[in-house]
Structure 1
Amino acid sequence: MTAHGVPDGLRIEGFRQRRSGVGNLSKGAIMMAAAALTFDALLSTTHPATLLVTLPVTLAVIGLAAARRHGMSALAYYRAAVAWKLATRAESTNFRKVLLPHPYALDLPGVAASTTLVAAHDPTTGRQVGVVHDRVTGYMTVSSLLAPGGSLMAPTDTVRGNLRTWSSVLDAMSTEEQIKGATVTIQITPGAGEALGDDIAARRDPDAPALAQAVVDELVRTAPRATASVASWMSVTVDPSATATPPTDLPGQVAETLRVVDGLDLSGTGTDIVRRATDIDLRRLVRSAYDPSCFTARDEEFADLSWGECGPVAADDLWEEYAHDGAVSLSYVLREMPKRPIAYSVLLPFLSPGRFPRRITITYRVLDPHEGEAVLEREISNAAQRAEATAQVKGRAKWSQKADYARAEKAAAQVAGGAQVVDWTLMVTVTALRAADLPAARQELDRAVKATRSLRMRPAYGAEAAIFAAGLPVGYNPLVR
Structure 2
Amino acid sequence: MRKAGRGPVVAASSSEPQGPRTYGNWRKPSTAGLMGLGTLGTALLLGGLIFVVFMVMAAGMLAGMVGGAIVGMMLLAVLVKDKHDRNLLSRMTVRIAWWNTRSSKAHLYRSGPLGRTPWGTFQLPGLAAASRLSEHTDSYGRPFALLYVPATGHYTVVIGTEPDGAALVDPEQIDVWVAGWGHWLANLGDEPGIEAASVTVETAPDTGTRLRREVISSIDPEAPEFARAVLEEAVDNYPMGSSIVKAYVAVTFSATSRTGGKRRKPDEMGTELAARIPNLTQQLSATGAGAAHPLTAQELCETIRIAYDPASAVLIDEAHAAGETPELTWPDVGPTAHQTMWDCYIHDGALSMTWSMTSAPRGNVQANILSRLLAPHADIARKRVTLLYRPLDAARAASIVEADLRAAEFRQTSSHKPTARDVMATRAARATAAEEASGAGLVNFGLVVTATVTDPELKAEARAAIDNLSATARLRLRLVHGSQDSAFAGALPLGLVLPKHLKIPAELKEQL
**Same fold by TM-score greater than 0.5:** yes
Which residue type is aligned with residue 338 of structure 2? A
> How far has the Cα of 1:410 moved from its partner?
0.7
Change in CA separation of 1:138 and 1:19 when aligned onto 2, cut-off 3 Å: closer
Which residue type is aligned with residue 14 of structure 1? N
Distance 1:93 1:100 in 2: 13
Which residue type is aligned with residue 129 of structure 2? A
Change in CA separation of 1:83 and 1:40 when aligned onto 2, cut-off 3 Å: farther
SS of 2:161's partner is strand
> How far has the Cα of 1:329 moved from its partner?
0.4
> How far has the Cα of 1:109 moved from its partner?
1.4
1:179 to 2:194 alignment: yes
Q: Deviations over 1:446-472 (max 9, x none)?
A: 2211222x2221112223212211121
SS of 1:343's partner is coil
Which residue type is aligned with residue 132 of structure 1? L
Distance 1:460 1:92 in 2: 17
Q: Deviations over 1:370-413 (max 9, x none)?
A: 2111111111111111111222xxxx211111111001101111
SS of 2:335's partner is coil
Distance 1:310 1:217 in 2: 34
Which residue type is aligned with residue 475 of structure 1? G
Change in CA separation of 1:198 and 1:397 when aligned onto 2, cut-off 3 Å: same
Distance 2:34 2:234 in 1: 59
Picking from 445, 461, 465, the partner of 2:485 is: 465
Q: Which residue of 2 is the match for residue 41 of structure 1?
A: 53
Change in CA separation of 1:16 and 1:228 when aligned onto 2, cut-off 3 Å: same
Q: Which residue of 2 is the match for residue 59 of structure 1?
A: 72
Which residue type is aligned with residue 371 of structure 2? L
Greater relative CO, 1 or 2 (CA 8 Å, sep 6+): 2
Picking from 2, 8, 24, the partner of 2:36 is: 24
Which residue type is aligned with residue 475 of structure 2? L
SS of 1:472's partner is coil
Q: Which residue of 2 is the match for residue 289 of structure 1?
A: 307
RMSD: 3.2
SS of 2:496's partner is coil
Change in CA separation of 1:321 and 1:437 when aligned onto 2, cut-off 3 Å: same
Q: Deviations over 1:249-296 (max 9, x none)?
A: 431122123333333221211013442111111111111111100013
TM-score (normalizing by structure 1): 0.87
The answer on whether the counterparts of 1:190 and 1:227 sit within 8 Å (CA) in structure 2 is yes
Which residue type is aligned with residue 360 of structure 2? M
The answer on whether the counterparts of 2:350 and 2:453 sit within 8 Å (CA) in structure 1 is yes
| Matching of residues 205-284 of structure 1 within 5 Å | 224=239, 226-242=241-257, 248-264=264-280, 265-284=283-302
Q: Which moved more, 1:235-244 or 1:277-286?
A: 235-244
Distance 2:441 2:431 in 1: 13
Distance 1:213 1:11 in 2: 50
> How far has the Cα of 1:344 moved from its partner?
1.1
Picking from 90, 105, 109, the partner of 1:76 is: 90
Which residue type is aligned with residue 261 of structure 1? I
Runs of 5+ unmatched residues, structure 2: 1-16, 502-512
The answer on whether the counterparts of 1:141 and 1:235 sit within 8 Å (CA) in structure 2 is yes
Q: Which residue of 1 is the match for residue 131 of structure 2?
A: 115
SS of 1:390's partner is coil
Distance 1:249 1:196 in 2: 42
Q: Which residue of 2 is the match for residue 476 of structure 1?
A: 496
The answer on whether the counterparts of 2:124 and 2:331 sit within 8 Å (CA) in structure 1 is yes
Aligned sequence identity (%): 23
Change in CA separation of 1:352 and 1:175 when aligned onto 2, cut-off 3 Å: same
The answer on whether the counterparts of 2:56 and 2:64 sit within 8 Å (CA) in structure 1 is yes
Q: Which residue of 1 is the match for residue 386 of structure 2?
A: 361
The answer on whether the counterparts of 2:284 and 2:292 sit within 8 Å (CA) in structure 1 is no
SS of 1:421's partner is strand
Q: Which residue of 1 is the match for residue 373 of structure 2?
A: 350
SS of 1:144's partner is strand
> How far has the Cα of 1:179 moved from its partner?
0.9
Aligned length in residues: 468
Q: Which residue of 2 is the match for residue 3 of structure 1?
A: none
Change in CA separation of 1:28 and 1:160 when aligned onto 2, cut-off 3 Å: same
The answer on whether the counterparts of 1:190 and 1:357 sit within 8 Å (CA) in structure 2 is yes
Change in CA separation of 1:41 and 1:334 when aligned onto 2, cut-off 3 Å: same
> How far has the Cα of 1:337 moved from its partner?
2.3
The answer on whether the counterparts of 1:361 and 1:471 sit within 8 Å (CA) in structure 2 is yes
Which residue type is aligned with residue 468 of structure 1? F
Change in CA separation of 1:471 and 1:251 when aligned onto 2, cut-off 3 Å: same
The answer on whether the counterparts of 2:152 and 2:500 sit within 8 Å (CA) in structure 1 is no
Distance 2:348 2:229 in 1: 43
Runs of 5+ unmatched residues, structure 1: 1-5
Change in CA separation of 1:282 and 1:186 when aligned onto 2, cut-off 3 Å: same
